[in-house]
Amino acid sequence: MTVEVTRAALEVARTARTVLGADGITGARPVMRHAANLESVLTYEGTSELRTLIVGRSLTGLDAFA
């Protein structure tokens, strides 16, 4: 999954939670479980953003971490 796809899926899960109300939070519907899984995927995929900063530093010589 790309970061954009994961963010879109997380937005859908949050909307589903809102539409379902309390059922979106309880075990009756697994929306929050999916949202938690997507959050972990988004955190994992955030490493691509760090890689972008590292490559940018190599190309430009500008340190985005300072």
Structure tokens at 61: 């010589």
Is-catalytic flag, 39?
A: no
CA distance 54 to 62: 10
Decide if 17 contacts 32 (C-beta within 8 A): yes
Considering 4, 11, 39, 45, which one is annotated as catalytic? 45
Handedness of CA 63, 44, 1, 34 (dihedral sign): negative
Give the residue numbers marked as catalytic. Answer: 45
